Amino acid sequence: MIPLSQTQARGPELQKKVSFWNGLGLVVGLMIGSGLFSSPGPVLESSGAYGTALVVWLISGLLAMCGALCYAELGTMLPMNGGEAVYLGRAFGSLVSFMFEFVTIVVQKPGSLAIVCIVFGDYVSRIAYHTYFFNVPHDSDASVELADSVIPPFLPKLLAVICLFILTLINALSVRAGIRVQDVLTVVKVLTAIVISVVGVVVLTNKGLVVGNSLQGDPFEGFGSISFGQFAVAFYSGLWAYEGWNNLNYVSGEMKDPHRDLPRVIIFGIPLVIFCYMLSNVAYLAALRSEVVMHTNTVAMDFGKKIFGPAGGIIFAVCVALSCFGSANASVFTGARIIYVSAKQGHIPSFFGKLSQSRQTPILALLLQACLTTVMIMIGSFRVLVNFYSLSAWIFYFLAVLSLLIFRYTEPDLNRPYRVWLSTPILFCMVALFLCTTPFIEAPIESAIALGIVLLAIPIWLIHVKLRSTIARGWDSITSRIKGNRNRQGYHGMEMTEAD
């Protein structure tokens, strides 16, 4: 989020209607998304063995919970709209806050939206070409190879762009329509995750269903040969599935008892998501061979085919596509508002802050976001975009939690309704620093481009913000002097007239 003005930050008083159970549902709805249906392959491929992959999923969830608890302290300590931008600006100054804003608009929002749209495109293209897989064994490498050879490479990207512009049109026509779409598809998303988890339990308890599964042999085979870079890339894919943990503190202002319920929601809610993800991954691994899980981009569809046959594959694929459509809709809605507020503050051209007179929607902000996202869809695959997005995101996650440690030292008297254990932000910062440095070994191109865009914000800030404010101050000084001289000249003239 982008910092708002003092007037906007206060706004009308929010009604405190969110209970513990409402908050728990919000946690699950925010975090469960496309990552559950697309990240298992990249995690397993980078980890090398199913035991290592499951450990990555577990640690990723625990790291997300540590980050959410740190954000809970920041959110209750500084209860203002703006999120990370407020914390970064207060701890490090306006430059770092602007860098976060710039990267959010240019990389993070378009990048995350592009990833979700690409997952949508992968699943819908597999649905369209599903008849080609009827005579192929469900758990064979041939099913994945056939998908790669039969489906035109441009089709998933084309479908991703179509999804993006349909959602952009919906949100441009009506705010209410976008919200209604979101409400319905959030239910589909959560139900799909629950069904996969439940089927996973059934698969594990019924040995007749487990044929040629991945849960065999040494669970940590090749662990010693995995590089730090491979670990970081595996964590990027796992952590992508838990994205949303950093938004949980935004609900604190509407909670009936945020000081008590916010940490409880995090402590109970995120482990629930971790449990769901672990069960789902065990289900995938129990039903499919590791080679299939590693190389497919549509693991939920392959899982459905293996357990329920071709019709099951289509049903699972439709549910995943709908859930991705809902996640993308939420990202379109929030991303456009960030651009709109930034334009209102003068950080980007002001015309992006205009609303449609008839619809009262930020059409130009929506179009800018759609263009940036289209570029990312065209140039990157799911795995490339996850690495590209994750580095830029984790740089600012690290700095935001580091600001908590800085505030503990520089502002010890600030009111902290919730105070996390000191070891939690220290541990989070250590792991985040690891995630910000080691990917340059395994994914140097994506990492270098992401870091370059982050650093590009510095000259833009110097030219667009700092230089402009300096010129404005100089101009104000000149005009005030001119006005002062005119006032003095007019005053003396009146004195002469009265004397005469």
- In this prediction, residue 491 carries a pLDDT of 43
- Of residues 6, 325, 350, the one with CA closest to residue 167: 325
Report pLDDT digits (tens) over 230-281: 888 899 999 999 998 887 666 666 677 777 788 888 888 899 899 989 988 9
Q: Give the Å distances, CA to CA, from 484 to 368, 472, 476, 477, 494.
A: 44, 18, 12, 10, 16
- Residue 327: what pLDDT? 83
pLDDT at 428: 96
**Residue 186: partners with Cβ closer than 8 Å, 6 or more residues away:** 29, 326
Q: Are 274 and 282 in contact (CB under 8 A)?
A: no
Using alpha carbons, select from 283, 314, 116, 122 the residue that is nearest to residue 195. Answer: 283
Q: Cα 313 to chain center, whole Å?
A: 27
Measure the CA angle with vertex 327, ends 323 and 333; round to 5°. Answer: 145
Q: Going from the N-terminus, what domains does the chain have, and what CATH number goes with each?
A: 6-499 (1.20.1740.10)
What is the pLDDT at residue 147?
60
100: nearest Cα among 78, 121, 83, 125: 83
Residue 111 has pLDDT above 90, yes or no: yes
Q: What is the pLDDT of residue 177?
A: 66
Q: Which two tokens stand for residue 38?
A: 């697309």
**Residue 496 clears pLDDT 70, i.e. is over it:** no
State mean pLDDT over 155-180. 85
DSSP class per residue in 385-431: HHHHHHHHHHHHHHHHHHHHHHHHHH-TTS--SS---THHHHHHHHH
pTM reported for the whole predicted model: 0.83
Q: Using 50, 70 and 90 to split pLDDT, how confident is the model at 5?
A: very low
Output the six-digit token pair for 81. 């709209």
Q: What is the pLDDT of residue 153?
A: 82
Averaged pLDDT of the chain: 81
Packed helices 310-344 and 175-205: angle between N→C axes, nearest 10 degrees = 140
- Contact of 8 with 92, CB cutoff 8 Å: no
Q: Are 370 and 165 in contact (CB under 8 A)?
A: yes
- Mind listing the pLDDT tens digit for each residue in 406-439? 999 999 988 888 899 999 999 999 999 999 998 8
479-489 pLDDT, tens digit each: 666 666 555 55
User: Taking Cα atoms as reference points, which of 250, 251, 246 lies closest to residue 270?
Assistant: 246
CB-CB contact of 283 with 28 (8 Å) = no
Taking a C-beta distance cutoff of 8 angstroms, is the pair 263, 1 a contact?
Answer: no
Three-state SS for 332?
Answer: helix
Please state, for a pLDDT cut of 90, what percent of the chain lies above it.
31
